[in-house]
Chain A
Amino acid sequence: MRSLSMMLLLFSGAALAEAPQPAMPGMEHAHHAHAMRSWTDLPLLKTKAGGESRERVIVVPQNIVADAVDAYSNKLADENGRRRLPLDMAGAKLDKPASGGFHWLAAREEQGDEVRVASAVYYFGERGAENPTDMFITQKHELEIVPQPYPREHSRYRANEDWKFLVRFQGHPVVGQMVALETQNGTKSVWVSDAQGVVTVHLPDDFNAETDGKEIGGSRGMGMRGSDFVLAARRADGGKTYLTAFNAAYGKNAFDQRSIVMGLGFTLLGMLGAVPLLRQRRKKNDMPEQPEQTEQKEEA
């Protein structure tokens, strides 16, 4: 973890970009940058369920001025493989394609010599959804932070875990790239990519009484409580600066609301219950005895 000053240095440009933008004709409706006070200045894509249906999700960009959200499905070759979703006041509507599965979501803003990208992943549960590796590997923006891997179905980012991300510029891994982490719970830290362009980020265990209550939205939350984090990288190249952010939800650490002591205790109790079976009661082996009593007790 690097110092906070480094972090400020890294993102000094980000604050500038947050200054009120001149509204562009016909785009006011899409300007979500200052709709609410955000926990970060970095560009974000929030997803929320689109009403009753499990087939639609609303994507809401924050801290970025964009007129559309690009959605890439894990079936890139398909007609729904790459979709441009128009933004209105509520956000962009992402409808579940028949193939379901992972979707890469991105909003891009280019103002003068500054390119800003917000990115996130959404997963529609669907049996037999295609392997999303191609979708993740395909170059989608100039500067990218690609999860390696993204948590698969039935799993998710959680506090106190290490997760890997590949940082790429124009499709090539970037060595020694600084990546900032900010969490909704208030942690800020900076990480650096290795010789393969991979940065290993430790998600902090920073939940406390105040940040406890929020539910993770979307299908991945599974009703569990959690919070959000965002990773961001900044890079200057050919007279332009690129700022790319990737955000996702993370849950509490694996052992939250679990007790290993009690778990072992009950396991031991069960073991003790079976110990009488181990005793030799007859001289001859393989004689019928009465294990059934204990078997049934377990089920009673």
Chain B
Amino acid sequence: MLKKIFPTLGRFRFTVQIVMLFVTVYGGALLGSYTVDRISQALPSLSCAFDKTTGDHCILIVSQHQLHHRIGEALVKAQEITLKVFVPTLISVATFFAFFFFLNKAFCGWVCPMGTVQELLYRIGRRLGRPLNRFSPDNVERVRPVKWLMLLVLALGLPLMAGMGFAANELGDPYCQVCPSRLATTLLTADTEQIAVRTGKNINFFLGALGNAMFGFVVIAALAARQPFCRICPLLSWNAMFQRLSPMRLVKQQHDKCEKCGVCEKACPMDIHEIGREHGKKAFHEDCTLCGRCAEYCPDDDVIQIKFFGIKLFGSSREYYKQRVKQESPEGMPKNRVIWLKQAK
């Protein structure tokens, strides 16, 4: 029965993504105004608090806010730094982890509205016959540190400094000011307030302009590249800090054929070359979003598996692979389906 509705993991994931897109973008409208923000208030996905109908909001808005108003202010007032100052933050992180524990990075690959929007755009790009711009392993390596910089500077450092008075007060939530999910989710609710750039203070204007430009870039780039924003997303690095603490894992066994195959690398929307070349811990990379595409496209039995507490939830298999490539190429090109725009030759 379940097999009929969800013949592939890809179809199942796509369904979950669409449902979660509705929960994160419009969930508050369905659950009632005060229920909004009440699910976790610390979600490991870019569900945005500026979206008036959101069903929840991400951990980054909470951590920026608390670093700015609680911890930063307390540190500089040289108040007794009691445990109390840190309790709200600890509770937020604990709540975050209570959710994260079960799904791990699948919050990226299955839940995040920004991840889903980019994937939808990429699918549209396939229909429009746009090319796929892949990252070479060298370039991937170069981009990877950016997500840590985004986390350390925009989501943690500047809010703390603003709270302590070392940075302008307007830098209390710098990541939110550039976040493309704020723009994507509010536009999905037909709210144009956020796309209008703030003009009151120079810093806000600068960050807002940068955020809008990045959003514009991501929207077009996603038509011809997979998950362009995810690669520099500070939540990807935040989640990566906790990735080894969850029993949900991507597991890859050593396999002799891998060297010549590399199909999983092609299937990976994050261009993680390690998935094809490494095994064990190194294969479950910090950039992995647990989308499971590598396991779907690995042509050998159980070489790549998604496991929860050691129990196999999904494993690669030759049979599955044969079916899967009939529908879609590893790079996400649909087979035997209408292409709206013919590719220019």
Contact = CB atoms under 8 A, between A and B. Distances in A.
Nearest to B133: A291
A149 B29 CA distance: 12
Nearest to A297: B217
A263 B134 contact: no
Contacts of A223: 169
Contacts of A288: 133-136
B134 A286 contact: yes
A264 B192 CA distance: 10
B329 to A, nearest CB: 8
Contacts of A113: none
Interface string B309-336: 0000000000000000000010101000
Contact of A262 (B52, B150, B197): B197
B56 interface: no
B54 to A, nearest CB: 9
B84 to A, nearest CB: 10
A153 interface: yes
B143 A292 contact: yes
Sorting the interface of chain B by its residue count into under 10, 10 to 19, 20 to 34 or 35 or more gives 35 or more
B343 to A, nearest CB: 6
B217 A278 contact: no
A37 interface: no
Among the interface residues B136, B139, B217, which one has the most CB atoms of the partner chain A within 10 A? B217
A170 interface: no
B214 A257 contact: no
A128 interface: yes
A114 B148 CA distance: 64
B197 A274 contact: no
Given A132-B34, A263-B195, A282-B131, A275 B225 contact: no
B343 A285 contact: yes
Contacts of B217: 270-271, 273-274, 294, 298
Contact of A267 (B50, B216, B344): B216
Contacts of A133: 32, 34
Chain A: number of interface residues, binned into ranges: 35 or more
A212 to B, nearest CB: 12
The CB with the most chain B CB atoms within 10 A, among A259, A287, A295, is that of A295
Contacts of B41: 127-128
Interface in B128-162: 129-136, 139, 142-143, 146, 149-150
A280 B212 contact: no
B35 A127 contact: no
A267 B212 contact: yes
A152 B216 contact: no
B224 A278 contact: yes
Contacts of A127: 41-42, 62, 88, 91-92, 95
A282 B183 CA distance: 33
B144 to A, nearest CB: 11
B28 to A, nearest CB: 8
B231 interface: yes
A292 B232 CA distance: 12
B336 to A, nearest CB: 16
Interface in A227-260: 254-255, 257-260
Given A258-B198, A283-B345, A292-B142, 10 more contacts: A128-B91, A255-B196, A258-B199, A259-B197, A267-B216, A268-B216, A270-B217, A275-B220, A278-B131, A289-B131
Interface of A: 102, 127-128, 131-133, 149, 152-155, 223, 254-255, 257-260, 262-264, 266-275, 277-283, 285-292, 294-296, 298-299
